[in-house]
Amino acid sequence: MGKIMDKIRVAVSGAMGRMGREVCRTVLATEGLQLVDAFDSLGNGEDMGIFLGMGETGINVRQLTPKTLGEYTPQVMVDFTTPLAVMQNISVALRGGVRPVVGTTGITEVDLARIGELVQKSGIGAFVAPNFALGAVLLMKFAATAARYFPQVEIIELHHDQKIDAPSGTALKTAQMIAASRPQQTIQREELLKLPGVRGGLQDGVHIHSVRLSGLVAHQEVIFGGQGQTLTLRHDSYDRNSFMPGVILAVKKVITMQGLVCGLENILDQ
């Protein structure tokens, strides 16, 4: 009994989605973690283990409310839902004294400011990341370094066709890190655009191009141009389990966090 009580109690919001299912599988299989609840807007009491094909677990998929969240006293809630639901989910978690680990994309700077306010009022910690793949985080770091030496850069991000936000949070964060690292912004030359949007969107002076196709999971290229040469950095997630080491790291770290922490790079070396 003592060993069970020592485990970090985890709830998953968006449990029936593709990322939520993977998180549930991983938590169930990870020593030191205990899956205690599963929430989804489509949940009607299905046993999560049976839904995953892992056998009965006694964990039934339910709607997330302040009441249901408090029934099994999770310490951490992992959220992979949609931009339309995530802010309400975070609010419910923090007001209930549960530390959120958020991988839902589409969170804006305004949203982050609001999350920061909720975290401050709650007196506990929260973690938000645009990408939980360790390779993607390293790509962003490498891109920030390369930006100091190459005058031009563009980002191409490619995701599955069910991703509703564009560009990805990873691409936006990459552009921000590049802009912060550059000695000065590149002056944009005048262009004749024969199709609206053909050059992508601009974030901090960096062009971002978004691709949405079935068969993809999560991919990003950062292409730098300089005199007589180019440098291409690319990261590919071929399976959603590529995000799980980062999710588990965040679940374990958020237990002792104070305040809001954004980005996996901020906990990798702790």
Q: Which residues are catalytic?
A: 159, 163
Q: Both tokens of residue 207?
A: 């062009």
The rounded distance, in Å, linking the Cα atoms of 219 and 245 is 17
Q: Are 75 and 53 in contact (CB under 8 A)?
A: no
Contact 104, 111 (CB under 8 A): no
Q: Give whole-number Cα distances, 235 to 133, 146, 214, 217, 225, in Å.
A: 9, 15, 18, 11, 18
Residues 6+ apart with CB under 8 A from 83: 104, 105, 106, 107, 164, 165
Do the Cβ atoms of 264 and 253 come closer than 8 Å? no
In 3-state terms, what secondary structure has residue 112?
helix
Of 104, 269, 266, 270, the residue nearest 177 (C-alpha): 266
DSSP state of 192: -
In degrees and rounded to multiples of 5, residue 231 shows phi and psi of: -130, 125
Query: How far apart, in whole angstroms, are the C-alpha atoms of residue 255 and residue 9?
Result: 10
